[in-house]
């Protein structure tokens, strides 16, 4: 195989690998009686990670799923920490004036899971479980080539053999 063929194939494969937008679920679920529930929908993200978070305060539990727009994730995995009510509201993009001052200072246990494959942040599951759907994206960690890349590779080889590069 000529160097020009290898160069064209490499550019084609790298472009197809990194030009795909990550798809994440966006939703909020809560066991609070007066909480509004969002529809569990899929959105395309500019970020590299999807996030699933579980907030626990007393008997109340809230699970959210979203794109990692605030760059909280740097690697795939789980994190546990404690935040204030004010930090919690800021992280989900809610107005902090909606809650009383004493609740802004209350401590909330947070378990957050970062993932980087399509639809990996299913909020209907707990933060300890992962969505078992297959990824459509090639953003997942693992092998350099995915199924789509093999198809594109054979297509590029066929086209390059027609032009005899």
pLDDT per residue as tens digits for the range 82-106: 888 888 777 767 777 877 888 788 8
The 10 Å Cβ neighbour count of residue 127 is 21
Read off the pLDDT of each residue in 8-27 and give the average, rounded to a whole number: 72
Cβ 123 vs Cβ 113: under 8 Å: no
The 10 Å Cβ neighbour count of residue 137 is 17
Backbone phi, then psi, for 114, in 5-degree steps?
-105, 135
State both tokens at 51: 């996030």
pLDDT beyond 60 at 44? yes
30-38 contacts, C-beta under 8 A, 24 or more apart: 30/60, 30/61, 30/62, 30/63, 31/59, 31/60, 31/61, 31/62, 32/60, 32/62, 35/62
Write the pLDDT tens digit of every residue in 52-61.
888 887 788 8
What is the pLDDT, as a whole number, of residue 45?
A: 85
User: Could you tell me the pTM of the whole model?
Assistant: 0.57
């Amino acid at each position: 195989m000529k160097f020009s063929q290898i160069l064209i194939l490499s550019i084609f494969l790298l472009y197809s690998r990194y030009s795909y937008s990550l798809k994440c679920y966006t939703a909020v679920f809560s066991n609070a009686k007066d909480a509004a529930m969002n529809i569990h929908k899929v959105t395309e993200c500019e970020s590299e990670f999807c996030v699933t978070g579980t907030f626990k305060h007393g008997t109340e539990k809230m699970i959210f799923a979203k794109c990692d727009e605030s760059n909280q994730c740097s690697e795939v995995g789980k994190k546990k920490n404690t935040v204030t009510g004010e930090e919690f509201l800021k992280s989900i993009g809610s107005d902090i004036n909606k809650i009383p001052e004493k609740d802004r200072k209350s401590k909330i246990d947070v378990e957050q899971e970062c993932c980087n494959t399509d639809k990996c942040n299913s909020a209907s599951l707990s933060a300890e479980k992962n969505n078992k759907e297959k990824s459509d994206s090639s953003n997942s960690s693992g092998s350099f080539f995915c199924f789509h890349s093999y198809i594109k590779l054979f297509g590029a080889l066929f086209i390059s053999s027609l032009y005899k590069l």
